[in-house]
Homo-oligomer: A and B are copies of this chain.
């Protein structure tokens, strides 16, 4: 696929489009105009047209967009048309929550292994996967050519574990540890710092109280 460089802001909006288009598809809707989509999603129609123009437009003037086609194309752009092999490092509540979340599997994210340093968790079953000791992580990653590692471990060990993962071929980290990972160029990192988001909420409460 040939594309020009697209801003992360646009990319950040694509999953939301996909969510609405998926719902429309499930409801049997075949076509939708940017105006209708705009009312549904509460963004301007011009924003929608601009966003979609980044990928060649997807629509014919006056006809609206083909929901099924648009859904498929956005999925492809997001890399959801192929399998991503994943492991989860950290089998606490958060790790288990992510492991149990079937929707990721449906999107092509295959949950293949789970690791923890706590012996009490070894052997614990999370979906089809049993929690393994940390010592087995590196070999597992190499043997199974794991692409994505989800980090749900404390920040004290996250930097070192991330480096070990990358050395063994992991190309992307979905990081829930509350620390910035400085990894080599080419390694993709997406941080989910939950308390940052809670603080943003708290700021907005504070403002609206004034």
Contacts and interface: CB of A to CB of B under 8 A. Distances in A.
A97 interface: yes
A104 B199 CA distance: 9
A208 interface: yes
A133 to B, nearest CB: 21
Contacts of A11: 200, 203-204
- State the majority secondary structure of interface residues on A: helix
Given A94-B93, A208-B186, A199 B15 contact: yes
A93 to B, nearest CB: 3
A174 interface: yes
A79 interface: yes
Interface in A78-121: 78-80, 84, 92-94, 96-98, 100-101, 103-104, 107-109
Enumerate the 5 nearest inter-chain pairs by beta-carbon distance, A residue then B residue, closest first: A79-B206, A93-B97, A15-B196, A94-B97, A190-B201
